[in-house]
Amino acid sequence: MIPENPQFLTLDQCLNLKQGYLVTVNMQHIYEARRLPLAASAIFGDAAARYCLDGRGAAKLFERVVDLDLPLVQGNVLLDRWLSLAAGKRLLVIGSSPKNVEMVMQKFPDVEFVVDSGNISINSKLDATAIADNLTAAHSGRWDLIAVALGVPKQELLAQALHNRMNAPIFCIGGSFEILGNTLPRSPRWIQVIGMEGIWRLALEPSAKRIDRIVQSYATFFQLRFASPSAKALTGLRD
């Protein structure tokens, strides 16, 4: 059974998330969900998932489905705002490099950061479950937020497995620590407006894998943009 259209949260609603895991939806999520049923289940098919729109391409497509202007909440902006309000709180970071997190820690000295930068390989739900069990055992105690920065769809698969093991909201935020720590320069405003941040990232960090990901994401956008997309088409979910 296909769930109702995802309900996209505003920035304030994301900041007040108390449970579940937040997916910061961009075109990569739509591409991976359409490609892999496992990704579709973790990204769009779990009742614990909450959503905000991180990418303008994804926003354009979902706006056509619901015929509404939807709020844009970029992951790095969300993380920056959460940290600015989080004095005395505990944050568990999974996946981002210690170097990136260290740069962010210097900006927010009143927040307690704990970083788990172990190598995480997820190719199945069993992988995600086993890693979630290990993380739960290694990082017991109270957390105010868990930030998972592994890339799509690994971070959503892990968040899906973690959310009922660790009693804290989870943000799936990709490369947000790189941006906040200034190890990855933010794209100029005009590039953000036209939705070409993937090209900017490719110029900074060229690789065959990134080229393939960007080509597939943009191809998916144009395929759906000139069709009549439904929630089913965008989420990859099936009846």
Under the banding of pLDDT at 50, 70 and 90, the label for residue 5 is low
β-strand partners of 23: 51, 172
Distance (Å, rounded) from C-alpha 62 to C-alpha 48? 20
Give me the pLDDT at residue 2, please. 40
pLDDT per position as a tens digit, 16-74: 999 999 999 999 999 999 999 999 999 999 999 999 999 999 999 999 988 889 999 99
Residue indicated by tokens 């895991």:
21
Q: What is the pTM of this model?
A: 0.91
List, in order, residues 6 or more apart from 167 with CB less than 8 Å away.
19, 142, 143
Per-residue pLDDT of 90-111, as tens digits, reads: 999 999 999 999 999 999 999 9
Distance CA 59, CA 65 (A): 10
Confidence of residue 230 (pLDDT cuts 50, 70, 90): confident
Q: What is the C-alpha to C-alpha distance for residues 58 and 29, in angstroms, rounded to an integer?
A: 9
SS3 63: helix
